[in-house]
Each structure stands twice: as structure tokens, then as C-alpha cells.
Amino acid sequence: MQRIVPNILWASFLTAIAAEGCLFAWFDPDELLNLVNQRDRLAAYTAGFFFLWLFCAISAGVAFLLNLPGRQETLARPTDSSRSRPPTP
């Protein structure tokens, strides 16, 4: 478990970088939010990146949890001794 969380965060970090590049290549925060100065614009880029990183981390975490193996006893086939059939003569 100690290696899983950093792997999820690293993968989501790289995905958030790509997503932010795509998002802000199409949409300018200045046009969306009517920002006044450059500092507000930088804050919008920063907030957008952290939101995308959080979203990607949650997505990666849920995908990891859904791919965990199930219990062995629920997936195992019944053994021959547990089947109830009459012995053959």
C-alpha cells in the first residue's frame, strides 16, 4: 500500500499536466472569468491545475479499487466432495 499511493499521485500528476495543457489551450481563463490583472490569471491556472490533479487522483484511485482481486472463496469452484450427487454403482 505504501507504493500504491505515490504511484497513483504520480500518474494523476502527469495526467493533470496534459489535461491542463489541453484545457487552457482551448479556453483562456481571462475570457472565462473576466480577470483584471496577471496575478488573477496565474491564480486561475494554479487553481485549475490543482482541481484537475485532484480529479485525476480520485479517478485513478477508484480505478485501482475496482481492479482489486475479489475474495478467493467467492471465486473458487466447488470441490468434488462438496457436490451432492449420488454415488455411481
CA distance 45 to 29: 7
Is 21 or 75 the better-scoring residue by pLDDT?
21
Q: Which phi-psi region, left, alpha or beta, contains residue 78 (left: φ > 0; alpha: ψ -120 to 50)?
A: beta
CA atoms within 13 A on the CB side of 53: 11
| CB atoms inside a 10 Å sphere around CB 48 | 18
User: What are the pLDDT digits (tens) for 24-81?
Assistant: 899 887 777 776 677 888 888 899 999 999 999 999 999 998 888 876 555 555 565 5
Per-residue pLDDT at 19:
94
